[in-house]
Copies of this chain bind each other. A is one copy, B any other.
Amino acid sequence: MKLPAGFRGAGAAAGIKASGKPDLAMIVSDAPSVWALTATTNRVKAACVVRNQGLEQTRKPIRAVIINSGNANCATGQEGTTRNSQLADLTANNLNLTRDEVVTASTGVIGHQLLLEGIKTTLPNLTNTLEDTSDAAAEAILTTDLVPKQAGVTLSKGASIVGIAKGSGMIHPNMATMLAFVMTDAKVEQDTLRTMWQRVIAQSFNQVTVDGDTSTNDMALALSSGQREANLDELEQGLLSVCQNLAQKIARDGEGATKLISVTVTGAQDDDAARRAARAIVRSPLVKSAAHGNDPNWGRILSAIGQEGVEADFDRVRIVVQAEPLFEGQPLEFDAAHVSAKMQHDPLQIEVDLAAGEGHGQAWGCDLSAEYVRINADYHT
């Protein structure tokens, strides 16, 4: 995808992945960019997460993001922290920047030291191949993903938003689940972008689940070069659209997934309760298994809601699967074979009305297949 004005991207193979696939991505902003970061709530945090959170507190603009896949540089102690700094230094040197203008991100195995030699020799080449599209970078950040994930929108006054992401659950010996980088040339103040980003994340990446586990390296970053004027409401809607699109692509590419599950909850006490209920449904292994088997099992959906403890009027709760009403305070009559056939649809749509208010929310996930277990149980050295 063509990047917004002021951004360039590149990707290359630096020998971190044994497969020889691209594993080093770079995003450069030609002028200082304002930015916003959200990162994992896991108490075990990779060196890059800790460093970026420190950088964000300085409130200074950034100029580049360097991302390696194949090694998460997590649980690597003081040496890991040092090597993460060195990754920033090497990148800054290549681009004639200061180290604090460079954000780092790592994803891959944990507990192994990141080898910098290959990165060092690859960086000049990476810098030389910077181009105005996100394609090479989108490819180089992947780990177990089956497909690259990109999304973009153009705003009415000509500004644009392009995002790249990686996801796919975690496989041996621990792949970081989720990285996302969203670039825009829409002009926005740093503080505004940060507030906006929190709201966007709450309705997108925080609503996607593959296996319920959060990783040590999760990170979502927004950057604005500010080169084009934009309406702020439109910008926020655009960011939301791009991030929801990427979130769905991550869910769809979940390990072993055969289909996307999209859950919409209405009638909640507030939006937060709606989002919690939606997440609870899409996270339930029983709901995920039923989705895989095209089983119109409203009881598991009902039980997942009850388990989450959100306000609901269970005498009026309504459950609709693939436009077929299955439950409304009590089980409805339905043709199970017919509904089961409709449930083969990808994405599978689940709609729930909690009948307790005006809150609305969505969440996305994937079905649970025997393949998920095979991927995650397989022992790799």
Give Cα A210 to B307, complex, Å. Answer: 15
Give Cα A315 to B340, complex, Å. Answer: 51
Q: Does A306 contact B (CB under 8 A)?
A: yes
Instruction: Please determine whether A211 and B286 come into contact, CB atoms closer than 8 angstroms.
Output: yes
In the complex, residue of chain B having the shortest beta-carbon distance to the beta carbon of A280: B213
Give Cα A41 to B307, complex, Å. Answer: 7
Q: Which of B75, B214, B293, B330 contacts A331 (CB 8 A)?
A: B75
Instruction: Please determine whether B295 and A378 come into contact, CB atoms closer than 8 angstroms.
Output: yes
Q: Which residues of B contact A303 (CB under 8 A)?
A: 42, 44, 110, 170, 174, 213-216
Q: Which of B284, B314, B340 contacts A44 (CB 8 A)?
A: B314
Contact with B along A145-175 (1 / 0, CB 8 A): 0000000000000000000000001101110
CB contacts under 8 Å to B, within A320-337, are 327, 329-331, 336-337
Q: Which of B76, B289, B307, B315 contacts A42 (CB 8 A)?
A: B307
Minimum CB–CB distance for A55 against chain B, Å: 22
Q: Does A116 contact B (CB under 8 A)?
A: no
Minimum CB–CB distance for A12 against chain B, Å: 27
Instruction: Please determine whether B372 and A213 come into contact, CB atoms closer than 8 angstroms.
Output: no
Instruction: Please determine whether A297 and B174 come into contact, CB atoms closer than 8 angstroms.
Output: yes
Q: Which of B109, B216, B293, B305 contacts A376 (CB 8 A)?
A: B293
Instruction: Please determine whether A44 and B295 come into contact, CB atoms closer than 8 angstroms.
Output: no
Q: Does A359 contact B (CB under 8 A)?
A: no
Q: Does A298 contact B (CB under 8 A)?
A: yes
Contact with B along A286-327 (1 / 0, CB 8 A): 100110111101111011111101001011000000000001
Q: Does A128 contact B (CB under 8 A)?
A: no
Q: Which of B327, B331, B372 contacts A373 (CB 8 A)?
A: B372
Instruction: Please determine whether A377 and B292 come into contact, CB atoms closer than 8 angstroms.
Output: yes
